[in-house]
A and B are shown apart, each in its own frame.
Chain A
């Protein structure tokens, strides 16, 4: 159709015909591929009345719209990922002609090939760690706090006040540094099961929708046949963490979003 744009989901280096059974954004037709030099751009049509520059100038600000389309896009990407190895594109990469998509493959050919070598038979697993500092303080530092309070007995009020202030400050620093060490140790332990690891941005509560603060956000590129081992290692490690105020979240397999350039 004249008013259709071409939304590029990903690039694949093999073609599984089941991909063409998947519906595109907003259910507008099925996905199709644009081939060039043995690589396939997996695309679907979108209505430019909705995804054109003018419309997007308003929609890009609309959080609810963005959320709905983001889920839709990811759902399609995950379906493709379950059928084929892929290089995922950033959300809403839209073209107006098939020829332009072919050119993109030519221009980025070496980069795509390099990425495919790296992600071959691997997928991304995501590990996020959250820490309830108050709980950690109670569980791990409880004895230290009790001992300190005992040491204050019999001290003059003024002295006790300053000692307590100093103790609280030092305790806070100690907690921060221990939590940081524990998170790093956790990630280091998992690293040996992965081909690569990336530290991603810590996400705010507004995005995670979890009230406990995030302290670690890592992506691991893991061989498909090592994913079970990876999950087992997490199970092994998480007992200590979870009983001390930490929460660990493993998700995936995801397409290699964090590992493609």
Chain B
């Protein structure tokens, strides 16, 4: 590991570090808007719950969101790949048809000559 250096932007700091500081630290003054924000512990529980319910759902065979391109990046990528392949096939078929047509024309010309 390299030597310890100090970073000064959020790009170099972990999200955990940011959440810990701004949710649990800083001076607390009652603002005019009353906002019930989660602290880091509550946030941890919430993340755990989300993960646990996803795992539980999968265990029960519920995983429809994984194949929905609007909800899953994997499904989206798969759909894009499928679309691209389909388009390529269409182009290929069209080219074959064109070629076929030209060959037929040439064939009939040759047949006429005979």
Q: Which residues of A contact B (CB under 8 A)?
A: 5, 8, 11, 48, 51-53, 56-57, 60-61, 63, 66-67, 70-71, 73-75, 77-78, 82, 87-97, 100, 104, 108, 115, 125-126, 128, 200-201, 203-204, 206-210, 217, 227, 231-232, 234-235, 238, 242, 248, 250-254, 257-258, 260-261
Stretch at the interface among B43-51, B57-65, B71-79: B43-51
Residues of chain A within 8 A of B4, CB atoms compared? 231-232, 234-235, 238, 248, 250
By the criterion CB–CB under 8 Å, are B43 and A66 in contact?
A: yes
Beyond A89-B29, A93-B29, A253-B8: 7 further Cβ-contacts under 8 Å? A53-B34, A60-B36, A90-B22, A206-B47, A209-B15, A251-B14, A254-B21
Contact partner of B33 (CB less than 8 A), chosen from A52, A227, A250, is: A52
Q: How far is the CB of B41 from chain A (nearest CB, A)?
A: 7
Q: Determine whether the beta carbon of B47 is less than 8 Å from that of A257.
A: no
The CA-CA distance from A125 to B41 in the complex, in Å, is 22
Q: Which 10 A-B pairs have the closest CB atoms?
A: A257-B25, A91-B22, A90-B26, A207-B16, A94-B33, A206-B47, A231-B4, A257-B21, A96-B32, A93-B31
Among residues of A, the one whose C-beta sits closest to the C-beta of B50 is A63
The answer to whether B13 touches A251 (Cβ under 8 A) is yes
- Supposing A78-B10, A100-B32 touch, asked if A206 and B23 sit within 8 A by C-beta, the answer is no
CB distance from A11 to the nearest CB of B (A): 8
Interface string of B1-38 (1 = CB under 8 A from A): 10111111110111111111111111111011111111
What residues of chain B have their CB less than 8 Å away from a CB belonging to chain A? 1, 3-10, 12-29, 31-38, 40-41, 43-44, 46-48, 50-51
CA distance A159 to B32 in the complex (A): 70
Report chain B residues within 8 Å CB of A61.
Answer: 38, 46
Given contacts A235-B3, A250-B6, contact A60 B22 (CB under 8 A): no
Are B23 and A87 in contact (CB-based, < 8 A)? no
B33 touches A108 (CB 8 A): no
A104 to B32, CA, bound (A): 11
Residues of A within 8 A of B36 (CB): 56-57, 60
Contact of B26 with A203 in the complex, beta carbons under 8 Å: no
Establish whether residues B32 and A67, one from each chain, have CB atoms under 8 Å apart when the complex forms: no
In the assembled complex, the CB of A128 is this many whole angstroms from the nearest CB of chain B, namely 8
Once bound together, how far apart are the Cα atoms of A210 and B15, in whole Å?
11
* Nearest neighbor of A231 in chain B, beta-carbon distance: B4
Q: Specify which chain B residues have a CB less than 8 angstroms from the CB of A5 in the assembled complex.
A: 32-33
A126 to B38, CA, bound (A): 22
Select from chain A the residue with minimum beta-carbon distance to B19: A70
- Among A74, A97, A217: residue with most chain B CB under 10 A: A74
A126 — which chain B residues lie within 8 A by C-beta?
Answer: 17
> 27 A–B contact pairs at CB < 8 A?
A56-B35, A60-B35, A60-B36, A60-B37, A60-B38, A66-B38, A71-B18, A73-B22, A74-B13, A74-B21, A88-B26, A89-B29, A90-B28, A91-B26, A94-B31, A96-B32, A200-B20, A203-B20, A203-B40, A207-B40, A209-B14, A210-B14, A238-B1, A238-B4, A250-B6, A254-B21, A257-B26
- The smallest beta-carbon distance between A86 and chain B, in angstroms, is 10
